[in-house]
Amino acid sequence: MGILERIRTVLKANINALISKAENPEKMLNQLIIDMNEQLVEAKRQVAMSIADEKKLERQLLENRGLAGEWEGKAMLAVKASKDDLAKEALVRKGEFDGYAAGYQKEYDAQHAAVEQLKDALRQLSAKIDEASRKKNLLVARAKRAEAQKQIQSTMGSLSNTSSFDTFERMAEKVDQIEAEADAMGELNKLSGDQKLEDKFKELEGPASADAMLEDLKKKMAQLDSK
């Protein structure tokens, strides 16, 4: 019964507590089911040995009953032959085998009762291991879901950190500054280009204006001379 008690202890263990301590709940639960099944195989072997002992006791019981019956038959033959002394000896032998049979009957009854208890316990343990296997699948699914939720919450927690958003804001401001500087340089380059173009036109216009002024001056001086 020791192996059966060990399996019961395993089955009564708080699996949820074990999961909380395990680095890999799925691996731990799979190994737990493997251990249970290995212990169940050992339990079946021991129960099979107990059944074999029961069968052996049953054979010895029937054998001694048979021998007691044979000696009773011999006693009857002796009585018919008017050999009472021989009949008495046969009856004594019959009594011996009756006694052996009674002892084997007692042992057989006890062994049979024990075997029936073992069979019942084995059936219950097998059912519990099947239940544990199904529960294992549910617990593994829950563990995976919990781990996924934990990861999501961790990610959300990191995203909710204001320093991350502050970094984005600083980067946006920096990009805005670079764009503004680029626009300013563009404006300056444009103004510089316009000024150069204007200066070129002034260069063209400059001599023509001086000639006109000189012509006007000559006309004015001619008018003065004519007076």
Tens digits of pLDDT across the chain (227 residues):
455 555 555 555 545 555 555 567 778 888 888 888 888 888 899 899 999 999 999 999 999 999 999 999 999 999 999 999 999 999 999 999 999 999 999 999 999 999 999 999 888 888 888 888 888 888 778 877 877 787 777 766 665 555 656 766 777 787 788 877 777 777 776 666 666 666 665 665 555 566 776 777 777 777 777 76
Residue 64 to residue 104: CA distance in whole angstroms = 8
Q: Are 3 and 48 in contact (CB under 8 A)?
A: no
46's CB contacts (< 8 A; 6+ apart) are 3, 118
What pTM did the predictor assign?
Answer: 0.52
